[in-house]
Structure 1
Amino acid sequence: MMKANVTDLEIEQQLLPLFDTTGNPFARRALAHVLLELPSAQEAVYERQQLIQSFINNGYVYTKIEYSKQDFEEVLHTFSRINDQYYYYDSNQVIATVQLLWRRRYRHSMRSRLAQLALFMEKMDLYFEQVDPALFPVVFGERLVALKQYLSMFHAVDIAKRIRKDRFGVKDQLFLLDLLNRRIAANAANMHWETFYAYEAWLSLAQGMIKHAFVFPTFAEGGLQLKDFYHPALKHPVKNDLEVNDTVMLLTGPNMSGKSTLLKALGICIYLAHAGVGVPARYCRLPYFDSITVIINLSDDLKHGYSHFMMEVQHLKNVVQEAGSGKRCFAVFDELFRGTNVDDALDISQQTISGLNRFRGSFFVVSTHLYQLQPLLPEINAWYIDCKLKDHSPQFLYRLKPGWSDLKIGRIIFEKEGLPALLQKNG
């Protein structure tokens, strides 16, 4: 799997709910695995895209497997006892009938449990009967063929009809018990359940893409191009365009202008693209990267005795070492070197940005408040988040524009909150 340091993107907390239409915790876990474990090669990314596209192109994205969580849990409990003595009955049907009738303690609960199993498997059988494995990529299609064959073993549709007519007799019960007792091994059942969870997870991803109008990216050599990209967790996001062909992008803008949110939105697009999933944008073209790093909410590491500045240095060192080894890296650094004094920060920021600019094939995004860098880095591609002053009050527009920002609103906000007057009061 690809190496990714993206804790600050909050994939599981903010992105997974956008895709999650699963009906049970195991399918949800499979969904999380897809989002959290990036493929290690570009070909594998396209394979994921192809699988999701199969759900979309063939209309399965508009279907839903209907079942209740309680029924699922009860049926799963039944399967968890496969090959257990609980299900054992003699292979001779006459003797097995006597055994079933004799075991009064289990008879009624067993009948209820088996009926619930048959009704649940009927829902699965009827749903997957409409699914054509040939429309999916070969490996996934083979898993679906095996799942459909497995479901057909239960004759669930016929048995369910008899259950509804109150004709669920000993013969049907013994048939299901024989399946659980002799014809189905626990590991075979688990394998088919895993296919079911995987199907739900990929269906959920496809449904999330349609619901939020995400688009598949295109991987190509050269620069990065995004149209109308945004942070998908925002209710009313401002969408932006970005096209860069350089190695380093420098981002400026006053406090509260939305730099961190934009950096997260950009990081999410890059991350989801490499997960093989659609991205929150109208269009996305980007290079394929070997590693992804997004450092935004950096804090001290008290356990190892690292200060904020030392943590910045360590993360930067890791990225530089990867890029120096020939890897194509994508990395985001929000307000790099804010953990040290201004003079040092200015000096080492210039050295860092100039150095990162030499790693062709990689792409680094650095946000900064050090406007003094502008004359020192004339070759660097700079962008800013637009903000206007109206009646001595800032208006945050959240628009990404090329160039440098020289707007300083710290003093304005400081004075607007009445701090100068408060600080002059006597104690």
Structure 2
Amino acid sequence: MSFTVDKQTLEDLNLLGKFTPGSIFGMFNKVQTSGGERLLLQLFKNPLTDPDAINKRSGLLSYFQEKALDFPFSRAEFQTVEHYFSTGSSTNYPAAFIVVFSKKIQASLLRDERYPALQKGLVATIGLLNSLNDFLKQFNDPNPTPFDEELQVLQRILETPALRNLLKEKDADEFSIAKLAAYDHLLKHTLQADIEILMECIYKLDVYLAVGKVGKAQGFAYAEALPKGKQVIEIAALWHPALIKGVANPVGFNGENNMIFLTGANMAGKSTFMKSLGIALYLAHMGFPLAARGMRFSVCDGIYSSINVSDSLNMGYSHFYAEVLRVKKAAEEVARGKSFLVLFDELFKGTNVKDAYDATLAVTDAFAQYRQCFFVISTHIIEVGEALQKTTDNVQFAYLPTVMDGKVPRYTYLLEQGITTDRQGMLIIENEGILNLLKN
């Protein structure tokens, strides 16, 4: 079973994108190898849905976060090794010798760069294997660790007699044609399968170390995954990972209180809170560190959001119709009995106030009947909340307050229980002098 997140939700939460400013992938993308980056992207695109697998990964990453070790190879050094293994080798030693001898002649007569590149690649590879061997000595923990299984695989490969002999060549900076051909054939043919496994393990190491380092630097924590159906999300303190000094809020859902109806002024932090929750649950399903303290959650089927929905000129959709289609899609998933986190920010703001009130109330009341999901629905129409209080018993009412310092609004970003009574819109307009500008 896969974790469902559509393109709109990925964009709303800014989860992917190597070059997208502030993306969550970019935050964790501190790897040193191209293979590590590919693996990291693969992990981001495939959150887990098995609680045991999630907890196993979070335990592994937490272990590396505590270890706080540096990746033992430079990016340039590793690129040299990757390039070395990208060049082929013959299936038997005599043929390999002839190929290497041919490259040597061409290097002498034509200044062909392939022979010196082969020498350089082999030297770099031997250096990498020795560095890896030394690095793994730091994992001599007396008690079992989450890394033991992969550590044993790496140690088994490095203890292969042929590789042990190769490691002894760590002081050489050039090899004879015979040795160069022999070692090249050994690494690229005889031990090809083991070398491929070893490289994949190094890519994983790259990811573990990078993710752990980010988690430690940011003060992130790990979540505990519970089986699907437990109907719980508990977070002692949650903030947005892109905020250096983000204000943290507790969050709690269960089967009896599975919806938050959120009110507050513009700029009070409603959208940021919803994004923070969506990002945290997504990273929790990946087993990654997240911007929270002490999170427990039951596994979900996916996340569905409607935060930054825009109109579509190509499809001929108005903003309101685009909103309606998002709500319809969410309704289809929820009605199928799936367990989703659904985030709706300012429902139906693309239509008139009367329709927005009626539609928000009807849709929110209908979604509230589905106890297997978690919902956060925000709106400026506080009258909807007042009506919901009379018809539902599973909705938490929360708001983000505005505090007035004289005529200047200040935002605490701290959730409070209830429905906001803040109505500072006109005051902010007056503070900006818009009406005076128009009168004059």
TM-score, length basis structure 2:
0.84
- Deviation, 1:420, is 0.5
- Alignment of 1:256 onto 2:264: no
Question: In the alignment, which residue of structure 2 is the partner of 1:234?
Answer: 243
1:62–1:207: 8 Å Cα contact kept in structure 2? yes
* Aligned counterpart for 2:295 among listed residues 271, 277, 284: 284
Q: 1:368 corresponds to which letter in structure 2? A: T
Shift of 1:178: 2.7
Secondary structure in 2 matching 1:194: helix
Identical columns (%): 25
Name the SS for the 1:159 alignment partner. Answer: coil
After TM superposition, give the deviation of residue 128 of structure 1 in Å: 3.4
Q: Kindly provide the amino acid, as one letter, of the partner of residue 122 in structure 1.
A: N
1:76 aligns with 82
TM-superposed deviation, 1:142: 6.2
Give distance in 2, aligned partners of 1:25 and 1:273.
Answer: 25
* More off after superposition, 148-157 vs 333-342: 148-157
**Pick aligned residue for 1:135 from 138, 145, 169:** 145
2:41 is matched with which residue? 32
Within the alignment, does 1:119 sit opposite 2:127 as a pair?
yes
2:211 — aligned with what?
205
Letter paired with 1:70: A
Tell me which amino acid in the other structure corresponds to 1:26.
G
Question: Would the aligned equivalents of 2:264 and 2:401 in 1 still touch at CA under 8 Å?
Answer: yes
SS of the aligned residue for 1:66 comes to coil
Query: Cα deviation per residue 1:105-150 (whole Å; 9 max; x = unaligned)?
Result: 3654543343233223322333235446973367645654565457
- Of the candidates 401, 405, 418, which is equivalent to residue 386 of structure 1? 401
CA distance in structure 1 between the aligned counterparts of 2:335 and 2:264, rounded to whole angstroms: 30
CA deviations 1:265-296 (Å, max 9, x no partner) are: 11112111111122211221233211211221
Secondary structure of the equivalent of 1:74? helix
- 1:151–1:240 Cα change, 3 Å: farther
Give the stretch that moved more between structures: 37-46 or 368-377.
37-46
SS at match of 2:244: coil
Which residue identity is paired with 1:4? V
Counterparts of 2:357 and 2:116 in 1: how far apart (Å)?
A: 78
- Give the deviation of 1:9 after TM superposition: 1.0
Give the partner amino acid of 1:47: K
Q: CA deviation digits over 1:70-90, x for unaligned, max 9?
A: 2222221111112369xx862
Where in structure 2 are the equivalents of 1:40-119 lying within 5 Å? 40-56=49-65, 61-83=67-89, 90=94, 102=105, 104-105=107-108, 107-119=115-127
Q: Separation in 1 of the partners of 2:134 and 2:178?
A: 23
Q: Which residue of structure 1 lines up, in the alignment, with residue 326 of structure 2?
A: 315
Which of 21, 24, 30 lines up with 1:21 in the alignment? 30
Decide which of 196, 218, 229 is 2:224's aligned counterpart: 218
Q: Residues 19-59 of structure 1: CA distance to partner in whole angstroms, max 9, x if unpaired?
A: 33311222022112212311133232223223324435xx6
Q: Secondary structure of the residue that 1:3 maps to in structure 2? A: coil
Cα separation, 2, equivalents of 1:232 and 1:345:
32
Q: Distance in 1 between matches of 2:101 and 2:30?
A: 45
> Corresponding residue for 1:332?
343
1:414 to 416, 429, 436: 429
Q: 2:258 — aligned with what?
A: 247
- Matched residue, 2:281: 270
Asked if 2 retains the 8 angstrom alpha-carbon contact of 1:30 and 1:198, the reply is: yes
Asked if the contact 2:221/2:291 (under 8 Å) is kept, the reply is yes
Deviations 1:357-382 (A, max 9, x none): 11012111001000121331113321
Is the contact between residue 3 and residue 292 of structure 1 (CA under 8 Å) also seen in structure 2?
A: yes
Separation in 2, partners of 1:150, 1:352: 64
Aligned partner of 1:318: which letter?
A: K
Q: What SS does structure 2 have at the residue aligned with 1:218?
A: strand
Instruction: Give 2:4's aligned residue.
Output: 3
Give how far 1:3 is off.
Answer: 0.5
Instruction: Tell me, in whole angstroms, the C-alpha distance in 2 between the residues paired with 1:234 and 1:31.
Output: 22
How far apart are the structure 1 equivalents of 2:100 and 2:423?
A: 86
Q: Does 1:183 align with 2:194?
A: no
- Rounded to whole Å, the distance in 2 between the matches of 1:279 and 1:168 is 49
8 Å Cα contact 2:3/2:300 also seen in 1: no
Structure 1 unaligned residues grouped into runs of 5+: none
- AA aligned opposite 2:171: K
Helix, strand or coil: the match of 1:398? Answer: coil
Offset at residue 424 of structure 1 (A): 1.7
Output the CA distance in 2 between the equivalents of 1:10 and 1:374: 29
Q: Distance in 1 between matches of 2:351 and 2:96?
A: 81
The match for 1:195 is: 201
Q: Please, which moves more after superposition, 217-226 or 280-289?
A: 217-226
Report the CA distance shift for 1:65/1:318 in structure 2 as closer, same or farther (over 3 A).
Answer: same
Using the size of structure 1 for normalisation, the TM-score is: 0.87
Equivalent residue for 1:372?
Answer: 383
**Between 127-136 and 364-373, the greater mean CA deviation after superposition:** 127-136
What amino acid is aligned across from residue 184 of structure 2 in structure 1? L
Q: CA distance change for structure 1 residues 176 and 329 in 2, over 3 Å: closer, same or farther?
A: same
* In 1, Cα distance between equivalents of 2:103 and 2:237: 65
Post-superposition CA distance 1:315-360 (Å, at most 9, x none)? 2222222221111111101101111111111111111111111101
Any unmatched runs of 5+ in structure 2?
109-113
User: In the aligned structure 2, how far is the partner of 1:156 from the partner of 1:401?
Assistant: 65
1:212 CA drift (Å): 2.0
Distance change >3 Å, CA 241–CA 354, structure 1 → 2: same
Q: Cα distance 1:179–1:333, how it changes in 2: closer, same or farther (>3 A)?
A: same
CA distance in 2, matches of 1:340, 1:400: 28
